[in-house]
Structure 1
Amino acid sequence: MPLLLTFLAIILLVLLIAWLKIDTFISFLLISIGLGLASGLDVATIGKAIQKGVGGTLGDLVLIVGFGAMLGKMVADSGAAQRITDALIGIFGTKNIQWGMALAGFVIGIPLFYNAGFVIVIPLIFMISATAKLPLLYIGVPMLSALSVAHGYLPPHPSPAAIASQLNADLGKTLLYGLMVSIPAIAIAGPVFGKTLKKFQPKPDEDLFNVKPRPSHELPGLGISIVTALLPVFLLTSMSALKSVMPGNTLVALLAEPYFGMLLSVLFAAYSLGITRGMNMKAITKSMEEAFKGVSVILLIIAGAGVFKEIMTVGGVSNYIAESLKDVAVSPLLLSWGIAAIIRVCVGSATVAGLTTVGILSPLLVHSTVSPELLVLAIGSGSLMFSHVNDGGFWLFKEYFNLSIKDTLLTWSVMETIVSIMGLVGVLILNLFI
Structure 2
Amino acid sequence: MDQSIYLLLVTLCSIALLLVMVTRLKIHAFVSLLLTSAFVGLAAGMGFDEVLVSIEEGMGGILGFIAIIVGLGSILGKLLEVSGGAETLARTIVQTFGSDRTSWGLTLTGFIISIPVFLDVGFIILVPIVYALARKTKKSTLFYAIPLLAGMGVTHAFIPPTPGPIAVADILSVPLGWVILFGAITGIPAAILAGPVFGHYIGNKIHVDPPDFSETAEESVTETNKSDFFMILTVILLPLVLIVLATLLDLLVEEGTIAEGILIIEILQFIGHPFSALTIATLMAAYFLGYKKGFTGKEVLKFTDKALAPAGLIILVTGAGGVFKQILIDSGVGEALAELLLAYNITPIILAYIMAVVIRVTQGSATVAMVTSAGMVAPIMSEFTLSSPEKALVVVAIAAGSSILSHVNDSGFWLVNKYLGLTEKQTLKSWTVMMTIVSLTGFAMALTMSYLFF
By the TM > 0.5 criterion, same fold?
yes
Q: Which amino acid aligns with 2:248?
A: A
Q: Does 1:422 align with 2:441?
A: yes
- Per-residue CA deviation, residues 129-177 of structure 1 (Å, 9 max, x unaligned), is 2223221011000010111101110111111111111222111121012
Displacement after TM superposition at 1:105 (Å): 0.7
In structure 1, the residue corresponding to 2:139 is in which secondary structure?
coil
Aligned residues: 434
**Secondary structure of 1:29 counterpart:** helix
Identify which of 202, 210, 215 aligns with 2:216.
Answer: 210
Distance 1:25 1:285 in 2: 28
Which of 271, 274, 278 is 1:255 aligned to?
271
Cα offsets for 1:167-206 (capped at 9, x unmatched): 2211112101211111110000011001111232335542
1:146 paired with 2:151, answer yes
Counterparts of residues 102-117 of structure 1 (less than 5 Å)? 102-117=107-122
Q: Which runs of 5+ in 2 are unaligned?
A: 1-5, 253-257
Q: Pick the aligned partner of 2:372 from 356, 359, 362.
A: 356
Against the structure 1 CA distance between its residues 356 and 429, is the aligned structure 2 distance closer, same or farther, given a 3 Å change threshold? same
* Aligned-pair CA distance for 1:359: 1.5
Residue type at the aligned position of 2:427: T
Deviations 1:199-251 (A, max 9, x none): 32335542245303533883011111211122222221223223444543432
CA distance in 1, matches of 2:20, 2:251: 46
2:205 to 181, 199, 205: 199
Paired letter, 1:211:
A
The answer to whether 1:182 aligns with 2:191 is: no
3-state SS in 1 of match to 2:174: coil
Deviations 1:99-156 (A, max 9, x none): 0110111111111122221221222221222223221011000010111101110111
Instruction: Verify the 8 A CA contact 2:348 2:377 in the aligned structure 1.
Output: no
2:40 is aligned, of 19, 32, 35, to 35
Q: 2:131 is matched with which residue: 126, 142, 164?
A: 126
SS at match of 1:385: coil
Does the 8 A contact of 2:356 with 2:401 survive in 1?
A: yes
After superposition, the C-alpha distances for 1:22-71 in whole angstroms (9 at most, x for unaligned) are 11111112222222222222221111111111111222111111101110
Partners of 2:47 and 2:446 in 1: CA distance: 41
Whole-Å Cα distance in 2 between the matches of residues 30 and 70 of structure 1?
31
TM-score where L is the length of structure 1: 0.95
Return the letter of the residue paired with 2:63: L
CA contact 2:104–2:147 (8 Å) conserved in 1: yes
Classify 1:399/1:144 alpha carbon distance in 2 versus 1 (closer, same or farther; 3 Å).
Answer: same
1:359-378 map, 5 Å:
359-366=375-382, 367-369=384-386, 371-378=390-397
- Name the SS of the counterpart of 1:381 in structure 2: helix
Kindly provide the amino acid, as one letter, of the partner of residue 419 in structure 1.
Answer: V
Structure 2 counterpart of 1:56, from 32, 40, 61: 61
1:271 aligns with 2:276: no
Does 2:239 match 1:220? no
Q: Say yes or no: does 1:380 pair with 2:399.
A: yes
Structure 2 residue aligned with 1:238: 245
CA RMSD of aligned residues (A): 1.7
| Alpha-carbon distance in 2 for matches of 1:132, 1:286 | 40
- CA distance change for structure 1 residues 118 and 422 in 2, over 3 Å: closer, same or farther? same
CA contact (8 A) 2:325 2:379 kept: no
SS state at 1:206 partner: coil
Shift of 1:412: 0.9
Mean Cα displacement is larger for which, 213-222 or 79-88? Answer: 213-222
Distance 1:368 1:337, change over 3 A: farther
Change (3 A) 1:5 1:83: same
Tell me the residue number matched to 1:400: 419
SS at match of 2:213: helix
Q: What one-letter code is carried by the residue in structure 2 that aligns with 1:199?
A: K
- Relative to structure 1, is the Cα distance of residues 39 and 428 closer, same or farther in structure 2, using a 3 angstrom cutoff? closer
Paired amino acid for 1:143: L
In 1: Cα distance, 2:80 partner to 2:369 partner: 28
Range that drifts further, 115-124 or 87-96: 115-124
Q: CA deviation at 1:320?
A: 1.0
Q: Which runs of 5+ in 1 are unaligned?
A: none
The alignment status of 1:283 with 2:290, answered yes or no, reads no
Residue 333 of structure 1: aligned partner? 349
- Paired residues for 1:161-176 under 5 Å: 161-176=166-181
Other-structure match for 1:137: 142
CA distance in structure 2 between the aligned counterparts of 1:385 and 1:230, rounded to whole angstroms: 27
Alignment of 1:286-305 (within 5 A): 286-305=302-321
Q: Secondary structure at the match of 2:238?
A: helix
Counterpart amino acid of 1:369?
L
